[in-house]
Amino acid sequence: MQARHPGYRAYCPPRGGLTDCPIIVGFSVDRTRMIIATEFNMKDFSPDQTIILAKIRHIEELERLSACTVFVETIGLIIHQIQAERGASCLYLASAGQRFGRERSDIIEQNQGLELRFREALQRHLEHDSMVDAKQLTLISWILLGFDQLKALRHQVTLHKISFPDCIQSFNRFVGCLISLIFDITDNAVNSKISTYLLALYNLVQGKEFAGQERAVGSYMFGSGQVQQEHQ
């Protein structure tokens, strides 16, 4: 028997009234899509064709869900790491570069690797979801711009050429864009159960960010030994 390509699948009609329908074996998903697209010009669909089309749609939904889940998971991880970098940067500025220099460098190295992971997850997300709207694409563009601006921000922090308020606001804006993207993905989720889970994640991340902003300000005050009215 000839070996089948691992990407090939067998599509069988469900048991019941269609048990006598022929089983279509050896077609890859892309090949079957092409066949179905060709058959759209016909007036009548056979049970075989509609079952195959249903299978294809189900596979596409699962692929979309998988890509979306990985993308949101990556966003959440990046938010956590950027919050850690924000705290380390605040302590670094507060101590005039005497403390948390090595820890900050380690965090930055990890975050640079996460940026590549974000771009890969983004590409997969866009490939599997052709219905991404303009609002979500706009948020993504701001996030990509934020990644580019992080390089300049890190350089300014290293050289102590940025004030604490400007530093923390820059990090806050970037994290805010990432959180907004989670909310937009939640708002556009088709699966109601998944949407509920994403909404819970959004609220959790939002609350974590509020606490993170307080920690960042507190770390700067303790590190510098100064408390100003604008920090309260």
Helix-helix angle 192-224:47-94, to 10 degrees:
10
- pTM of the full structure: 0.74
Q: Report pLDDT digits (tens) over 177-200.
A: 999 999 988 877 777 788 888 889
Give 10's pLDDT tier (boundaries 50, 70, 90): very low
**8 Å CB contact between 75 and 206:** no
Residue 9 pLDDT: 40
Q: Is 207 exposed, middle or buried (0-12, 13-18, 19+ CB in 10 A)?
A: exposed
The helix-helix angle for 164-187 and 134-158 (nearest 10°) equals 160
pLDDT at 128 over 90: no
Q: Of the ranges 31-45, 91-105, 158-172, which is most confident?
A: 158-172
